[in-house]
DNA sequence: GTGTTTGCAAATCTTTTGCATGAAT
DNA sequence: ATTCATGCAAAAGATTTGCAAACAC
């Protein structure tokens, strides 16, 4: 962590939780997970801390869930599998060489690329099958 | 458009506006753009219609802006350049061959892949001072 | 006529903000 | 002592929902 910002127990706990977590939790997820250890911690503190971490470059805000932001503390760039049904996110560790020709960039200065593989996770796939089967049974 | 759903003037106007628009507008953008022609149209109608179009597969909800959904009626799959400062979106027409090994898919059934090139558009580059005051996403 | 769509208001949900208190440097 | 962080409540924005009236089929 940076020296400019203060090391509070809440910040340490949030950073630790995010680092050890593979689920790319939302602010609410983090809040709920830590409220046993920090019963007085507020949700706005979670938001404040996440914003501060983003400014320091420690945390990335993932934009893959239309309903809420998800957060990622992984140090190396990577990509994601996103379930369109339950919004589960899994990491794809591989790096892809994708680059645009200067003529394709439309004047943009590209600083990062993100690849989302959208689909259905195994749990939601079997749910789908169940629904399908039920329909067939009902006629 | 489909036969199952009814052809109302509002729906036709929304579809037409989205098809002729390169800016990937938000629901609010669409609402404002059409309220001259449809002074009584409500914002929730815009949302309802967009949801119906998504169900029919006519429109895609883009998840690139953490503050609001953006909509795209383009028929061909394509990718996007996204400005991290002003959230302008530009299309990248090229197709990229990116595929995961079965061992990398984590049990997901992939139905679509989306590549976002994140950076700064030319307008925002020329006034970098403002960038810091605006949204931050690993800027 | 029937069932869908519209439009309005109210509700819900996520995220931000203002401000007083408390804590880290 | 100064400055930054916390926590609470309230505000702000985006999206959804309930429902009666209007309209497409």
Q: What is the pLDDT of residues A72-123, one digit of tens each?
A: 997 788 999 999 989 999 999 998 989 999 999 999 999 999 999 999 999 9
> CA(B74)–C1'(C6) in Å?
26
Q: Does B62 touch chain A (CB under 8 A)?
A: no
Confidence of residue B3 (pLDDT cuts 50, 70, 90): low
Question: Hey, are the CB atoms on A81 and B116 less than 8 Å from each other?
Answer: no
Kindly state the tokens that stand for A95.
Answer: 């790096």
Q: Can you tell me the mean pLDDT for B8-13?
A: 97
Kindly state the tokens that stand for A44.
Answer: 């706005």
The secondary structure of residue B132, as a DSSP letter, is: H
Predicted confidence (pLDDT) at residue B134 exceeds the cutoff of 80: no
CA-wise closest residue to A119 among B92, B104, B51, B73:
B104
Q: Which nucleotide is nearest to A44 (CA to C1')?
A: D7
Buried b / exposed e over B98-128, threshold 16 CB at 10 Å, is eebeeebbeebeeeebbbbbbbbbeebeeee
Question: Hey, are the CB atoms on B113 and A117 less than 8 Å from each other?
Answer: yes
Q: How far is B34 from chain A (nearest CA, A)?
A: 24
pLDDT at A3: 54
Confidence of residue B132 (pLDDT cuts 50, 70, 90): very low
Buried b / exposed e over A72-106, threshold 16 CB at 10 Å, is bbeeeeebbbbbeeebbbbbbeeeeeeebeeebbb
Q: Which nucleotide is nearest to B68 (CA to C1')?
A: D14
Q: Can you tell me the mean pLDDT for A56-64?
A: 93
The whole-angstrom distance between residue B103's C-alpha and the CA centroid of its chain comes to 31
Question: Hey, are the CB atoms on A107 and B121 less than 8 Å from each other?
Answer: yes
Kindly state the tokens that stand for A62.
Answer: 């993932």
pLDDT at A139: 17
Rounded CA-CA distance B56/A4 in Å is: 51
The fraction of chain B above a pLDDT of 70, given in percent, is 88
The whole-angstrom distance between residue A127's C-alpha and the CA centroid of its chain comes to 23
Residue A86's SS3 state is coil
Q: How far is B2 from chain A (nearest CA, A)?
A: 23
Residues B43, B48, B53, B59, Cα dihedral to 10°? 40
The fraction of chain A above a pLDDT of 70, given in percent, is 89
pLDDT at B136: 47
Strand D nucleotides within 7 Å of a protein CB: 4-10, 13-18, 23-25
Long-range pairs of B102-107 with CB within 8 A, sequence gap ≥ 24 = B104/A92, B104/A93, B104/A94, B105/A81, B105/A117, B106/A81, B106/A90, B106/A121, B106/A122, B107/A121, B107/A122, B107/A125
Which DSSP helix (H) or strand (E) runs through B79? strand B79-83
Predicted confidence (pLDDT) at residue B65 exceeds the cutoff of 90: yes
Q: How far is B62 from chain A (nearest CA, A)?
A: 8
Confidence of residue A135 (pLDDT cuts 50, 70, 90): very low
Higher pLDDT, A37 or B1: A37
Strand C nucleotides within 7 Å of a protein CB: 4-10, 13-18, 23-25
Instruction: Please give the mean pLDDT across all residues of chain B.
Output: 89
> CA(B48)–C1'(D17) in Å?
11
Is the CB of A40 less than 7 A from some atom of nucleic acid strand C? no
Do the bridges between strand A60-62 and strand A70-72 make them parallel or antiparallel, or are there none, so unpaired?
antiparallel
């Amino acid at each position: 962590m940076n020296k400019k910002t203060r090391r509070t127990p809440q910040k340490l706990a949030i950073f630790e939780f995010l680092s050890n977590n593979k689920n790319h939790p939302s602010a609410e997820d983090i809040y709920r997970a830590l409220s046993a250890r920090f019963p007085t911690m507020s949700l706005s503190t979670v938001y404040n801390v996440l914003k501060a971490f983003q400014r320091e470059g420690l945390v990335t805000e993932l934009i893959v869930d239309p309903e809420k932001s998800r957060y990622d503390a992984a140090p190396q760039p990577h990509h994601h599998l996103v379930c369109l049904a339950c919004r589960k996110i899994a990491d794809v560790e591989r790096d892809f060489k994708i680059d645009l020709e200067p003529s394709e960039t439309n004047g943009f200065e590209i600083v990062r690329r993100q690849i989302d593989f959208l689909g259905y996770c195994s749990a939601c796939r079997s749910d789908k099958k169940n629904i399908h089967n039920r329909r067939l049974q009902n006629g």
